[in-house]
Amino acid sequence: MKSLRIGICGWGNVATGLFNTIKSNYALIQSNGNMDIEIVVIGARRDNPKCDSGEVKIERDIFDVIKHDIDVVVELIGGVEVARDLILEAIKNKKHVVTANKAVIFHHGDEIFKEASKNGVKVLFESSVCAGTPIIKLLTEELAANKVSKIAGMLNGTSNFILSKMEEGDDFSSTLQLAQKEGYAEPDPTFDIEGTDAAHKIGILSCLAYGTSLPPEDFYVEGITKIEKIDFKYAMEMGYTIKHLAVAKFSNGINELRAHPVLISNKSYLANLKSVRNGIEIETDLLGTLHIAGSGAGQESTASGVISDLVHLANSDKNISKNEVPRKKIESIDFLSLSFKYYFYIEAEDLPGVMASISSIFAEKKVGIDSVVQKEELSENIVPIVIITDPFVERSHKELLMSISNLDSVNNVRSIRVEED
């Protein structure tokens, strides 16, 4: 039975969750993982009143953790640059690294993997995407014989929680406050609600599936802050719901990456995943379409992923895993060249000729209209108009939106892309 001596860097919610899980489930981990885990040292700038570290040595300088006789540094401090320096220093000192930090892998993955390979150690990061839901090992090991043509999913639990509550009729601001109260959102939720967190995760999955570099070239990212609860009402009437979707595709040597809100059929697998659950669809040549889902946030789910990496380290003699193979430069598609159907929500004055003016703009831009419905009056003389377009090229979208908003009779306009199979 292999024994792993580990040092934990960080002492926040994720780190204390890992510590408590190892202590409470020690016998189960030992039996199922065929390993012993010994927590030798913790790097913590300050104590955490929510967790008693017992007799474990505490280092106030996290870099001093590396000086101890340990096999693995578990990096749980978050952030980017300090985490990068800590990981590289651990690698230099021949320590394996396990991290749940998607940002540092996204921004510095290639550099980190190159140094790990050079020093004969591993860097594992199962919990960096979808917490403990085992997507990393699925892509790098179980699907090794498959060509993956598409990965699409909800990769941010906070956003999915907010959108699920809005679907029930709550507004954005109150739902965000609830997410923060429940611990699903950070005090500063910007990375979650602006799409950055999901973008980091889909970039990592693209790297693993297609060999693209980290960080990838810039790609389109949009958050959920512009969505209103009334959009759910009208989307549901048309057989859709609204999700924040991250997509990676690979075809004919060209990679497509994007992360933004979409209308998707309410009969689809992803549409029916609620609350903080993450869900991913993977299209492969040998197995067809796979679905995987699990909790995307929380101490326990993240601890599960970290421990799975520790078990992998204890039971593997290989020094190089797929994520440490040098990357290849792959051409990225121009987002503006993609075509989508669009949902438009327009608040306009209820006057003769207004609908004709809006329709004429769509005609001028050569954008076909699949359906148009004028809804019940919102307030005196103001009516909402809901339009679903035919597919048209993204390059024309902003210009169309601007032309509509410039009409004197239009008070408000917004749009959401429609994701089709």
* Cβ count near 406 (within 10 Å): 10
Q: Are strands 72-75 and 96-99 parallel, antiparallel or unpaired?
A: parallel
Cα–Cα–Cα angle for 44, 182, 8, nearest 5°?
Answer: 20
Helices 157-167, 172-181: inter-axial angle, 10-degree rounding: 130
3-state secondary structure of 323: helix
Rounded alpha-carbon distances, angstroms, from residue 236 to 106, 168, 169, 197: 35, 11, 12, 27
Residue labelled with tokens 């024309």: 396
Burial of 151 (0-12, 13-18, 19+ CB in 10 A): buried
Cα separation, 292 vs 281, whole angstroms: 7
Determine whether 201 is an active site residue: yes
Residues 200, 98, 113, 280: is their CA dihedral positive or negative? negative
Q: Name the CA dihedral angle for 174, 180, 182, 185, rounded to a multiple of 10 degrees.
A: 120
DSSP states of 210-267 as a string? H---SSPPP-EE--STT--HHHHHHHHHTTEEEEEEEEEEEETTEEEEEEEEEEEETT
Q: How far apart are CA 170 and CA 254, in angstroms?
A: 40
Query: Active site residue: 122, 201, 243, 249, which one?
Result: 201
Closest CA to 233 of 418, 415, 411, 386: 386
| SS (HEC) of 115-163 | HHHHHCCCEECHHHCCCCCCHHHHHHHHCCCCCEEEEEEECCHHHHHHH
- Helix ranges (H only) for 261-353 are 299-314
Backbone angles phi, psi at 407, to 5 degrees: -65, 135
Instruction: State which H helix or E strand residue 89 sits in.
Output: helix 81-92
Buried b (16+ CB within 10 A) or exposed e, 108-126: bbbebbebbbebebbbbbb
Other CB atoms within 10 Å distance of the CB of residue 274: 15
Active site residues: 201
